[in-house]
Amino acid sequence: MFLGRLLGWVLVGMAVLMASGDAVMALGPGDHMGIVTGDVWMLLAGRALQPGALSPPLSVMLMAWPAWVVLAPLGVGLVWAFRPRRRRHRSRHFA
């Protein structure tokens, strides 16, 4: 439970950092080259995802999206899935 929540908060934090980096680059002079998911994938996996017969078009499309758009929902989903829940005692429902 704790590790899932921790990983979710790390992903949310990374998404916030990437979104703020994209905002700073967008406000600066020159061309705006944002951080795309394919770049993050290449840094983590060591190789780029090659489009081919085995990779569906959805994965190729996701690699072109900004990285924070992909990481934020994953992080929020993990935080929500591993949230602390109150234990309900069975005897309270019958009283």
Check residues 20 and 48 and name the one with the higher pLDDT. Answer: 20
Distance CA 46, CA 10 (A): 21
Contacts of 65 (CB under 8 A, 6+ apart): 36, 37
Check residues 16 and 44 and name the one with the higher pLDDT. Answer: 16
Tell me, what's the pLDDT at 32?
Answer: 79
Domain residues of the chain, as ranges?
A: 2-27+34-48+57-83
pTM for the full predicted model: 0.75
- Report the phi/psi class of residue 21: left, alpha or beta, with left for phi > 0 and alpha for psi in -120 to 50: alpha
Nearest to 80 by CA among 4, 19, 3: 4
Average pLDDT, rounded, for the chain? 85
What b/e sequence results for 4-17 when a residue is b if at least 16 CB atoms lie within 10 Å of its CB, and e otherwise? ebeebeebbebbee
